[in-house]
Amino acid sequence: AQRVTQPEKLLSVFKGAPVELKCNYSYSGSPELFWYVQYSRQRLQLLLRHISRESIKGFTADLNKGETSFHLKKPFAQEEDSAMYYCALMGGSEKLVFGKGMKLTVNP
């Protein structure tokens, strides 16, 4: 079974502070992992995927198969980063399974 856990629902930081959004997954095979972001009342959009190994808007995420984690990090948060963030996993099926999401608020 595929499962994604985002243990924290809310995170509030000040501008310029580092942020880490945690994501753990459960899957027996080789997963594809993604982070999606949803800004206020907008559609979900892809932030990054582990296979690309790139940095988008200053965010990075490293897949740690030993810890079954895919935490999202940014060294210096900006106010425009305030949004809902969803970790998602695609295993062997055609389905993308999402975590419950985490609301990030970056205060000025």
Interface ranges with another protein (CB under 8 A):
6, 9, 32, 34, 36, 42-46, 49, 52, 86, 90, 94-101
| Residue 66 CB, nearest approach to another protein (Å) | 24
The least CB distance from residue 79 to another protein, in Å, is 23
Strands ordered across the beta sheet of 19-21: 19-21, 72-74, 60-61
The Cα–Cα gap between 51 and 89 comes to 12
Please report how close the Cβ of residue 27 comes to another protein at its closest, in angstroms. Answer: 15
Q: Which is nearer to another protein, 15 or 57 (CB)?
A: 57
User: What H or E segment, with its residue span, contains residue 4?
Assistant: strand 3-5
Strands 96-98 and 83-90: antiparallel
Q: Pick between residue 36 and residue 81 the one whose CB is nearest to another protein.
A: 36
